[in-house]
Amino acid sequence: MRKSETQMKITLRAVTRENLDEVADLRLLEHQQAYLASNSYSIAEASFNPALRPRSIYADERLVGFLMYLVPEECEDPPGEYGIWRFMVDASVQGRGYGRQAFALLMAEIRSDANARRIFISYKPENLKARDFYASFGFEETGIEAETGEMVAVVAAAQCSLAKLDSTCPAQRSSEPLPAAAELQPCMEK
């Protein structure tokens, strides 16, 4: 009997020499290709930026997606701000819940850093599915990033339930204003 897709164990793993070609071969649906850099480009980018963390997404032992996030650098002020730079699920397995499970694991991985304060993500403003997906995890839009034209969204990285952020959550009690999109420049030279 075949295991149902909802019973498959989703894991985040390193991109390695052994899975590099397979990660590079993951594909988006045709209409999604303009929304995201290729996985090959992302992996190359990570090889030059030690703050980037490329990760492969597996459903049991099958590679189903790729993500990459930026860890805070020592020069950041304020500290503790993470950025999700890439997130994709292969076209052949979209709509099966793998992306939602993988994104929850990604959020938990970032939130496991006690110094994590906020998590940023950006996407093309016309990508309404991405907007709705990220909003379901608590991300709120802060504005368009002038250099890229992408919408920036942020969520507090506090150890709170994704389903319910309320006044008991330290993130909701913070009086610090969220930064403007223009303030989201990484420390390293591009």
pLDDT on residue 183? 34
Opening angle at CA 8, ends 6 and 12, nearest 5: 120
Mean pLDDT for the chain?
83
Interatomic CA distance for residues 15 and 102, integer angstroms: 15
Domains of the chain: 5-179 (3.40.630.30)
Q: Measuring CA to CA, which residue among 82, 66, 70 is closest to residue 21?
A: 66
Opening angle at CA 85, ends 68 and 119, nearest 5: 100
- Residue 4: pLDDT band by 50, 70, 90 thresholds? low
DSSP 73: P
Task: List pLDDT tens digits, range 53-102.
Answer: 999 999 999 999 999 999 988 777 677 999 999 999 999 999 999 999 99
pTM: 0.79
Q: Measuring CA to CA, which residue among 67, 40, 39 is closest to residue 53?
A: 67
Percent of the chain with pLDDT over 70: 79
